Structure 1
């Protein structure tokens, strides 16, 4: 698997043009909001957003910029999960989930030091992930994935509880993003 495959999956899952009245993101195509498209130089109608523009935005903003390629060198599945979560919830949220999960799984800092949850992939986060992966192996990767998805699911429910209009999206978020 590679980033191009991940991007293809996200675009397929996100679908085409949408302008749902409950979606604060406004006009969206292939999961790219109009605000993100504009911030990245696209000035055209969102209905006509070229796939290549969406692919470049996904690669640059949600893979390269947060450093998920470095995570992929340690655990590809965790990197893919971070990418998918970042697309839907933001880079800081996805990375924060990883840092929180690693802190909760370090057995009171017996395995590696706690991380500052700064929501940035840096040397300490990568070192903690390496230490966790070395200690726990492939079974540990599955447990870490469960922890990330549990945090994500809890956040989706909180979003729906905090803004009833988000209930329109909750079923799809849980069906398509968790598990």
Structure 2
């Protein structure tokens, strides 16, 4: 799997500079919020955030730091989904979605033990993923992707219900981020 393709897809979808007063995320360029850019060391004008800087932020913060490369070695399509979800909701939220799904799908811990829902990919999460895939076969990865999508969609609905300004984004989130 080429993480570069995933990053290019996100940048293409997110576009250039955006400063929408309704967006709680604030000013963005290439889909990178000003808060994330500052946390990653960028101090310049957000209108001029270089694309190459955005690419490195995506790679470091949304692929490498949450260890999605390790997930990709076991379930590449799931890693892609976690990357996209993490970009939009934060990597810890994305990883917690798959951890919750793995716990709910282990048939009362008969297939493998429950794991901590801590938003971090570690040896226990990877072991549970391996056991799930071994038990459920070729359709297992697709089911996990669907579970992550379902949790993501439910979160989008809650965000719109809690903050009416988010209703402006709900249709796009559901149309472009789910499935």
Please give the TM-score of this superposition, normalised by the length of structure 1.
0.98
Other-structure match for 1:154? 154
Deviation at 1:25, TM superposition (A): 1.6
Other-structure match for 2:66? 66
Deviation at 1:138, TM superposition (A): 2.2
What are structure 1's unaligned runs of at least 5 residues? none
Q: How does 1:72-83 map to 2 (within 5 A)?
A: 72-83=72-83
Deviation at 1:135, TM superposition (A): 1.4
Other-structure match for 1:20? 20
Deviation at 1:169, TM superposition (A): 0.6
Deviation at 1:41, TM superposition (A): 1.7
Deviation at 1:24, TM superposition (A): 1.6
Q: How does 1:22-61 map to 2 (within 5 A)?
A: 22-61=22-61
Question: Aligned equivalents of 2:25 and 2:114: distance in 1?
Answer: 35
Other-structure match for 2:167? 167
2:85 is aligned with 1:85: yes
**Shift >2 Å, 4+ stretches:** none
Deviation at 1:103, TM superposition (A): 0.6
Name the Cα RMSD after superposition: 0.8
Question: Aligned equivalents of 1:148 and 1:117: distance in 2?
Answer: 14
Please give the TM-score of this superposition, normalised by the length of structure 2.
0.98
Query: Is the partner of 2:22 in helix, strand or coil?
Result: coil
Question: Aligned equivalents of 2:29 and 2:108: distance in 1?
Answer: 44
Aligned length in residues: 179
